[in-house]
Amino acid sequence: MQITEIEGGVCAPKGFKANGVHCGIRKNKLKKDFALIVSEVRAAAAGVYTQNLVKGAPVTVTRRHLADGYARAIVVNSGNANTCNADGEEIAESMCKMVEKVSGIPSGDVAVASTGVIGQKLDLSPMKDHIGELYSGLGFNSDAAAEAIMTTDTVKKQIAAEFEVGGVRCRIGGIAKGVGMVCPNMATNLIFITTDVAITPAMLQKALSEDVKSSFNMVSVDGDQSTNDTCCVLANGLAGNALIDGDGEDFRAFCAALNHCTVKLSKMLAKDGEGATKLVECKVVGAVGVEQARTVCKSVIKSSLVKAAMFGSDANWGRVLCAIGYSGADVDVHKIDVAFISRAGRVDVCKNGYGIDFSEELAKSVLSEDEVTVLIDLRSGESSATAWGCDLTYDYVKINGDYRT
Amino acid sequence: MQITEIEGGVCAPKGFKANGVHCGIRKNKLKKDFALIVSEVRAAAAGVYTQNLVKGAPVTVTRRHLADGYARAIVVNSGNANTCNADGEEIAESMCKMVEKVSGIPSGDVAVASTGVIGQKLDLSPMKDHIGELYSGLGFNSDAAAEAIMTTDTVKKQIAAEFEVGGVRCRIGGIAKGVGMVCPNMATNLIFITTDVAITPAMLQKALSEDVKSSFNMVSVDGDQSTNDTCCVLANGLAGNALIDGDGEDFRAFCAALNHCTVKLSKMLAKDGEGATKLVECKVVGAVGVEQARTVCKSVIKSSLVKAAMFGSDANWGRVLCAIGYSGADVDVHKIDVAFISRAGRVDVCKNGYGIDFSEELAKSVLSEDEVTVLIDLRSGESSATAWGCDLTYDYVKINGDYRT
């Protein structure tokens, strides 16, 4: 299956336009804070959401609007999460109605998302004042939308790819944000994906629900599962392929393209983790099942001590073993091998659960790269999994020590 | 039940002596690294240990030596955890045999513990060279023992108390260490408790196993459960009370004294958490059961974002709600009240799961104290629980970014 990356983000698929502007929820005028993505035609829609019991009001509203399997637009603000506010749902509905007013798209076909501080009232007036500007500027502006959903993110996260379904060229694109309060369980922070593939809502939801298990759900920046995690996909069918309405080759082709994009976005999210200086990938092989592999690699990627050691480029593999041991997975600790791998090479540090001699110099150079893989071989089966995280740095503490001011 | 704190640590109870020396496992000659606690007579012994599947060799050996319910000595080194070493058990047994050689106490009556780096060979020779000095210096030296078990700890942690059992005056004392890789599940890091109470091994184990659920198991510094967590209690019976061999008033008196000491030690451990500037206590009330209360307060105390906010004295209560929401406890989020409390006063920040107006100035002054309580009322039942942790600071990252060098 050939998947070719292309430009354009969420605007790469046919019939999608986007925009992002500064409306004033954020005080810094250079920071865009209001985004809109619109499909020319009604699109099949699927979503996965946070499992946190404390849910942002927009999560509840989006879930309701996507319940019929269709949507046409996504409206998003940054700077305020609209969570733990007594009037939160009303505010989120009003954001959708604003979109209806300027575009004619029924508010029930609009998904809504918010990200920022929890528990502060979200004032609608800045958005009311700028919805016209936001709508009239819709175009090939995935860049602007990707920028407008950023909070403490330092780089925009976009991806787009071309692939074939039944001989027909299709496109998929996505934008994402979220570098703190990142430890998703069903989805991560805000991710919006567009595609011109023709697919039924049920198959789109099936593809997405399965996909996040190996993509966004395998990312952890700080182990804190956000209240507002939302991942939405709109599929408008304008590519003209034969409608995907069941399993088979076409569905698999779409799933592969989706996973290509979601894994890339996952790595972008992890690498831009708050304060991070490097992407840490943990790959577990030789597990007795995928669940075991996932449990082990998430435990390692979440360990504060492993993360701090990565910051110091310190080959403290004992902390990796420790995190495997408390993960809850029933592993045979006397079979575990561990190696660190990066562009600079590979260093084996542990065999059969015991330390082995290795070159500290080589280890230092391997770990000093900005992308490091912790390879764990459980030597007990055939299953594998990969998780992505980042190092724990002074800047994480700085960013989060006084986030509200 | 009157419990009076006294001096003396583990040497406060009758018939216990202790000592600590520098033997050379640690390079810094000012750091003691070898400790011994001895009872004049054979004592009932109980232990709780890490549930990490990767276990330090000393944990395995101590468990074996305490299986018959009795012990007379505890030998400990810092600077090396003797974990993930192929010859680890042999080394740990040799440490016990060293004690037998100088004291005549059978090695099977010696508990052993090690703390420090994982996966580096533990050389016996520094200990062989200094066991004579360590033994001959035994006396009223709880201070020296408490110092010798420290790793990144900045203060010694000791406690002792007097209490009555059936009209007879008894004493209990303890030392503890552990400020990183602290998120115990059964016990925390190294804690050694002595008492001159007369109690059967079975009742001693019952008291300890129950106690840790509300003391050491409620402490988290960084969410990393150590491979070497060990909490041992020796009860030598020299107080002369009527033997406690079942439930009843005497047992409850002992449990109260034990809990007094373990909770104090728990708070000392949390307050000295690596890099910490303050003790954070999370108290949950109004829960439907103790398990629910414990789940909620541990989730809050472990949240990196809550911890970073505490460092910045930032009243970011939304992060508290977020951590309650992903804790796994089935709470009604629309009943949750949250307040921050310290010596400087109390500030209520959330009612019914929604934010309320509060004075940022008051909040700042409350949170700027070095001991802060997060009070969570679930308003759903009568149960409560308390957990202890600390803030997340630059120094935590610094300490753990390059621990091995």
Kindly determine whether residue B322 and residue A51, on different chains, have CB atoms separated by under 8 Å.
no
- Most B-contacting residue of A274, A292, A305, A332 (CB-CB within 10 A), to test interface: A305
Pick the residue from chain B with its C-alpha nearest to A312: B401
Q: Which residues of chain B does A323 touch, with a Cβ-Cβ cutoff of 8 Å?
A: 224
- The CATH number for A279-401, chosen from 3.90.190.20, 3.40.50.300, 3.40.350.10, 3.10.20.340, is 3.10.20.340
Q: Which residues of chain A does B323 touch, with a Cβ-Cβ cutoff of 8 Å?
A: 224
Task: Say if residue A278 is exposed, middle or buried (CB neighbours under 10 Å; 0-12, 13-18, 19+).
Answer: buried
Give domain limits for chain B. Answer: 4-271, 279-401
Instruction: Tell whether the model's pLDDT for residue A170 goes beyond 60.
Output: yes
Q: Could you read off the pLDDT of A40-89 as tens digits, one per residue?
A: 999 999 988 887 788 889 999 999 999 999 999 999 999 998 988 889 99
- Confidence grade of residue B402 (pLDDT, cut at 50, 70, 90): low
Q: For residue B281, give Cα distances in angstroms to A242, B195, B307, B323, B376.
A: 60, 28, 11, 15, 11
- Confidence grade of residue B216 (pLDDT, cut at 50, 70, 90): confident
pLDDT number for residue B163: 93
Q: Residue A9: phi, psi to the nearest 5?
A: 55, -135
Of A141, A149, A185, the residue nearest A18 (C-alpha):
A141
Q: Which residues of chain A does B180 touch, with a Cβ-Cβ cutoff of 8 Å?
A: 305
Kindly determine whether residue B312 and residue A402, on different chains, have CB atoms separated by under 8 Å.
yes
B254 — contact with chain A (CB < 8 Å)? Answer: no
Q: Which of A278-282, A303-307, A334-338, B179-183 has the lowest mean pLDDT?
A: B179-183
- The CATH number for A4-269, chosen from 2.40.30.30, 3.30.360.10, 3.30.70.1520, 3.60.70.12, is 3.60.70.12
Pick the residue from chain B with its C-alpha nearest to A331: B53
A vs B, Cβ pairs < 8 A, gives 206
Do A309 and A364 touch, CB atoms closer than 8 A? Answer: no
Residue in B83, B188, B227, B393 annotated catalytic = B188
Average pLDDT, chain A: 90
Q: Residue B93: phi, psi to the nearest 5?
A: -65, -40
Tokens of A6: 């292309």
- Confidence grade of residue B182 (pLDDT, cut at 50, 70, 90): low
Task: Using the Cα atoms of residue B323, residue B329, residue B332 and residue B335 in order, give the sign of their dihedral.
Answer: negative
Kindly determine whether residue A53 and residue B326, on different chains, have CB atoms separated by under 8 Å.
yes
Kindly determine whether residue B53 and residue A325, on different chains, have CB atoms separated by under 8 Å.
yes
A117 — contact with chain B (CB < 8 Å)? Answer: yes
pLDDT number for residue A184: 53
A188 an active-site residue? Answer: yes
Q: Which residues of chain A does B60 touch, with a Cβ-Cβ cutoff of 8 Å?
A: none
Q: Which residues of chain B does A317 touch, with a Cβ-Cβ cutoff of 8 Å?
A: 119
Instruction: Tell whether the model's pLDDT for residue A105 goes beyond 50.
Output: yes
CATH fold of the domain at B4-271: L-amino peptidase D-ALA esterase/amidase (3.60.70)
pLDDT number for residue B187: 38
Nearest by CB: B84 against A118, A224, A355: A355
A115-129, B220-234, B256-270, B361-375: which has the highest mean pLDDT? B361-375
Instruction: Note the residue count of chain B.
Output: 405
Residue in A50, A62, A188, A195 annotated catalytic = A188
Pick the residue from chain A with its C-alpha nearest to B303: A224
